[in-house]
Amino acid sequence: MRNSQSGAVLPMPVVTQIQAVFQRDGAADCIAFVWPDPLPVSEFEAEIEGNTLQVVYCVSELAIREALVKHGVQRETGRRLVLLSALDILRLGQDVLARLWRNEPQRISPWKTLQQLIKVRDIDPRLIRKHGRWMAEAMLSGFDRFDKKLSFGEVLDLEGAWRAIAIGHLQYADADIDLESLLDWSTRLDVSSVIEQAPKDVRDNLSDWLAPGLPDTHEIISTILLNGQGSDLLPLALACSVLFSGDVERANGIDMSQLYVSRGIFTERYLSAKKFPSTSFWAIGDAAVSLIKRWVGSQPYQRYAGCLAKAEQVLASVDMTLAAELSDLMPCAVQARLTHFSGALDVALKNADLEQAEIAFKHLSSHALSGLPLYREAVERAQMALRLTRWLAKSSRSPGTAAELMLDYAAEGGFCDWARTEIWAGDAHDTLNQVYQKLSAKVRQVRENQNQAFGQQLMSVARGDKLPSDIVPVERAIDELVVPLAENQPVLLLVLDGMSEAVYRQLGEDLSHHNWLELQPEGQDSSSCLMAALPTVTQVSRCSLLSGGLSEGSAADEKRAFSAHPALKKIASTKFPPQVFHKQDLSQPGSGSLHSHIRGVIAGKEHRVLAVVINAIDDQLSSSSQVAVDWSFESIALLRQVMEAAREAGRIIIMTSDHGHVLDHDSVFQQSAEENGERYQPAGKESEPSDLEVKVVGDRVITDNNVVILPWSERLRYVRKKNHGYHGGGSLQEVVIPLGIYSSASNHQLPNGWREVPRRFPDWWFSASEADKVADSAAAYSSEPSVKPAKKVTRGKRAAVAEVVEDMFATPAPSSIPEQSSGDWISDLFASDVYLKLRDRAGRTAVSDKDLSALLRLLQKHQWQVMEATLCRELLIPKLRLRGFLSNAQRLLNVDGYSILSADRESQTIRLSVSDLKKQFEIE
């Protein structure tokens, strides 16, 4: 509606009545209304429904006549005449009535006007009897805001009327009223102002609006809204979830007398001292907690951070901060739990009893906010600290031989140093930071002891003494790994210069997520590694790796030697010889992406053997940057591009390095006789090492006289400048080179004698409870076809088919099969006619009897249900292959729709119904 320039405004009931008239009769003119109240301006223009109106307030019949005459003269202007007057039909002459629309002045009935506006056939009489005029007037005054948003049907009822008023005056648009919707509404606008500006009758009847949807809480909600606290409705509800919780009453350390006092202060301050049943407080508290937890997983933290902060302020104002710290939702509780964890971890470091630390971390990680970016880093760092504490608590470590120390480092040391790096940066929480410093010192001492023991045996590494097959000297990697694998499939030797075991373990997460499966020789269960040449520097160890013999040289020397390697040349064609691509070859000019030509070579199948050297890690080591790097496919930009190109060609990837490194954790500078390297110095036969060094002599020492002095301690450096890290020395971190053989999950063949293995972790990486619950960190279930070995059947030969849906109502029946007869009943199953028919029908996709027997034995051991992670670990099945394995097993066991073997994806649990199995396969 457009008002006149005079600023005069038509009363809303008149406006809505005029709208109703025009909806009924678009040509209506000379419309008169009975309106007893004078207007500020007696004559003005207005615009309604696209019509220009001449509005005249008349104090007498003569004034009405004059207005009608004047309008008749000016009718060609197109304006419509609207007359307002206190005179009804009995006080006007017949000649005046004859000239009015419908021959009489219209009485403004809000209900009738409303009926015409919203176009309903009738209005529920109970509305008129119970609520009188106010509800109709409220709907009329808010008509513009709910018009075209609601459909009332044939009859306007109470629910429809309140929906219109809620939209029109309260800006509440949800169809239903429930606690979570109402709490959500309170955060989206200034509810306090909205309630204050609503008509008085709407405010007086607010409880009636809330009652149908909130029978138990409408009074407490309306009290908060009418007290001007509407915008704090969610924070107050959150405060109730803490203050009136039964858990608080049962918690240790809470002063009950103070709790009752605080509750009294709260009700007096925010609820006008009204008394409400405990169930009302519980209900709004539970709804608030449920809403915030839903938002935690779907909304940015800023959406609800203010509500949480305000709730903490409310609790602090009633002296209940201690109760807030017990909450699973309040930010202050995260800090309190970090403090508690620091104390428990400190105790564990003193007495090696981890029970309280385990409980404290479980309590910390169960907080609803622990997974948010704001707290995730602190929680993950706490987890790493707990893992290191478990590592320290292991049984005493005997020094062992050089080979034993290297294999132990390959299996566990990389994980340990990964965790060390995470806690080294410290934490913003001061108390926790101090405990981390103590933990770092203890772990460093153990690592120093191991490195000292290794340094004492480093001569065996220098001489090239015989090693177990799990350790491959770097100069033998081409002959013992690249050549045998390349005889079966195209190979990419991927060298991440300077990558340590710690970095390699960190990259394991991304390898799994991008559908790369690790391979190991059949019969080998432990981790493998390469052993660097000495000193552990690029020009020695990388050149030895790529040339296939102990040597020292540049990138150009590496290219020539790799291409000329006799065994590689024999495998490759003359036209497409073995090639190495270095840093300068890889990047597209003007971009950081992989060069298109190089990508084409890697993705093609013409070159049987290729090698790629990526320097991102080594470059970071040589910088003085204090930025901690989370190594991943994202932070090593070229890595993912190279591996995706290799996937297209179906290449086996041999991921390794040329040497490891030590990080600068309070390193000490020592002047060397000659400034040759960061952590090595040539030596004569008369040179003597310091207490932190060792002198080694042997054929695998690539210096002029095959003698070198190396620091065994990670703390020593020979350069004045502090870098991010160093290499060249004789520590386990530098000598042990990570090694992983990977195949894409989409590959259809495995090399002969190799099998897929799940990602392995040390036993201390998870708590006892986590070990059975945590899933293998490989990527989510894959629908890729399963791998088939080149010549003989292995566990890899499983087709990925659609998952059989579990009967959700089935429960595992108690076993009547004695433990000691497990072999008999499985033999009876495999010999049964039903099973033989199913196996014959399944054909080549069936799980082997050996693998199925292993699955059944594992299920029997775990009382007929087992976690997926346990199954992957015990049966050595990568999680990427788990769906296919279970689906094929279900083909052999699930008869006639019976869910004998079921897989619950939500709980990640595999179950076997023994009673159904016995019945369907007719075994006793």
Of the candidates 481, 551, 363, the one whose C-alpha atom is nearest the C-alpha of residue 753 is 481
871 DSSP β-pair partners: none
Q: At what angle do helices 302-317 and 256-270 cross, to 10 degrees?
A: 110
Using a 10 angstrom Cβ sphere, with 0-12 exposed, 13-18 middle and 19 or more buried, the burial of residue 147 is middle
Q: Hey, what are 380's tokens?
A: 């993950």
> Using an 8 Å Cβ cutoff, are 818 and 779 in contact?
no
Q: How far apart are CA 736 and CA 471, in angstroms?
A: 9
Which letter, b or e, does each residue of 71-109 get, where b requires 16 or more Cβ atoms within 10 Å of its Cβ? beeeeeeebbbbbbbebeeeebeeebeebbbeeebbebe
- Residue 808: the pLDDT is 29
- Residue 403: the pLDDT is 95
- Residue 6: the pLDDT is 54
Q: Hey, what are 818's tokens?
A: 């004695």
pLDDT tens digits for 138-176? Answer: 998 898 899 889 999 999 999 999 999 999 999 999 988
Q: How many CA atoms lie within 13 A of 815 on its CB side?
A: 18
- Residue 389: the pLDDT is 96
- Residue 770: the pLDDT is 60
Most distant CA pair in the chain: distance in Å? 136
| Per-residue CA distances from 513 to 43, 558, 669, 744 (Å) | 76, 32, 41, 11
Q: What is the reported pTM?
A: 0.77
Q: Hey, what are 594's tokens?
A: 């992989």
Which residues of the chain are under the pLDDT cut of 50? Answer: 5, 772-823
pLDDT tens digits for 71-125? Answer: 988 877 888 999 999 898 989 999 999 999 999 998 888 888 888 888 888 988 8
Indicate the SS3 state at residue 414: helix
- Residue 844: the pLDDT is 67
